[in-house]
Structures are given as C-alpha cells and as structure tokens.
Structure 1
C-alpha cells in the first residue's frame, strides 16, 4: 500500500540496548519511554516494550476508524460506547525460523458485525497488516 501525500508523519527514535533501551518522539507534546524486555521473554519487565506500544496504537486507531465508519453508516449511537482491545502476540513464526507477530482485535460494546467489519476495512493499521505497507530502509 502506498500513500499519495503524507498528511501527518510521526517521528520516533530508539537508542541504547534495543528492547532495553529508550524510545522518544518529539512530535506535539513529545513522549519518552524506557524499554524493557518482558519477563515472559527473559527480561526484567520493568518498562514498556514495542508490542505494548503497537497494541496501544492499533487499539486507538481501530476505535477511531470504527467511529468514523459508524458515522458514515448512520450508526453513531452504536459506536458511542465501544471499547477496542488489541492483543499483540509475539512468538516463533511457522513460516520462517524467526519471531513473528499476530494480532487479535476484540470490540466490546458493539453487536453489529457489519459495523465492526467496516471499522476494520477503514483502519490504516488493519489495512497495512492485510495488504502490506511500504517500508523504506536506508542509512541516515
């Protein structure tokens, strides 16, 4: 998936020891976090990890898409009290000899599956995972 013209670009920087380093973003009000490997992966678990951050971002994005879809479908009331739970799983990938990621999205407070499906189709995170996203990697 490609985009024509970026409307917003988030900037983030990672430093230190990867999963046990630091991440920061100077956008808007800024954010700085200390990363820590989860206990389940042999770490101390005394900080945030990339999967937590991805799950939080995906949940927020999906909720926004769900509410936008509800507006377009004339179902604003149905989405008013929706809650989105994102579970990001990391483990051994079956297709390769390395780690992989799987995601479960659970929508609470909405019984209308067509509305949930419309939110999924509209969510940029869902589309990126379903259709792929352009990732450009280069030296700075």
Structure 2
C-alpha cells in the first residue's frame, strides 16, 4: 500500500439504477443518463466513461512527461481509447487499447514519452496487472 501525503481532489457522485439509471456529481457539474452497452437509448455507459477518463488523464501524464524533458507538448496530441467489456471463464472483465497521437514528435521520442506517461498516469497504475492493456503510437 502507498503512503498518502496529500489528497488533491475527491470526486463525489451518486448513481442510481445501475446501467439503466442516472449518475450525478454532488457539485452538479456531471448529470448523466446511463444505458447498457449496445442497447438502444440516449445514455452513456461505464465503459465509455472509463475510456474518456483514462484518455484525458493519460494526456495529462503525457504533458507532464513532455514538460519534464523540456519538449513542447503538441496542441493536437490525442488519445483514442477503446475499452472492452468481455466475458471469460471467471466472469466479466475489461480490456483496453490506447492509441496515442503525438504529431511533430519523432517516433522514438514519442514512444519514450508514452512509456513515461504510462508509468505515471493514475489510471494506468490502477489497471496495471489487472487487465489486458495495449498502448500504441498512432
């Protein structure tokens, strides 16, 4: 277990109705309708939310890696995230693929930045050795 030095932020939400319900943050900035993956409806699903959250956090870690190396962070950098809900012998699991775009950065350097971001990103840390993850340079 890690020793916590300081809590930087706490997200507080309430979800009702499961995959066919609603989710709201306590500050009112998030208010979502949920729908099961692949089902008709207007809501999003947990896998989409996880993909958005991980890709946003990973971009922040890429920016940090660039700053640490005094490399300009490309304004059009992006991460395309795919999160699969899968069924296996022991139940349901997630697997993920991140395709990272770092235009204007040499591929060898971009791969080093991706590895540094993957080591530092809180979502990458949370999923490490828990799910299958593939991260590639787009």
Match of 2:88 among 49, 73, 93: 93
Larger relative strand fraction: 2
Please give the residue correspondences for 1:1-140 in structure 2 after superposition, counting only pairs within 5 Å: 1-2=1-2, 4=4, 5-16=6-17, 18-27=18-27, 30-39=29-38, 43-77=39-73, 79-94=74-89, 96=90, 98-110=91-103, 111=107, 112-130=110-128
**Normalized against structure 1, the TM-score is what?**
0.80
Partner SS for 2:128 = helix
- How many residue pairs get aligned? The number is 124
What is the DSSP-based 3-state SS (H/G/I as helix, E as strand, rest coil) of the residue aligned with 1:10?
A: coil
Kindly indicate whether the alpha-carbon contact (under 8 Å) linking 1:36 and 1:46 is maintained by their aligned counterparts in 2: yes
Contact 2:14–2:26 at 8 Å: present in 1 too?
Answer: no
Cα deviation per residue 1:52-72 (whole Å; 9 max; x = unaligned)? 111000010000000011100
Unmatched 5+ stretches in structure 1: 133-140
1:26 positional shift:
2.1
> How many angstroms does 1:46 deviate by?
2.5
Offset at 1:12? 1.1
TM-score, normalised to structure 2's length? 0.81
Aligned partners of 1:123 and 1:76: how far apart in 2? Answer: 19
Which runs of 4 or more aligned residues in structure 1 lie more than 4 Å from their structure 2 counterparts after TM superposition? none
Task: Please tell me whether the aligned partners of residues 78 and 100 of structure 2 are also in contact (alpha carbons under 8 angstroms).
Answer: yes
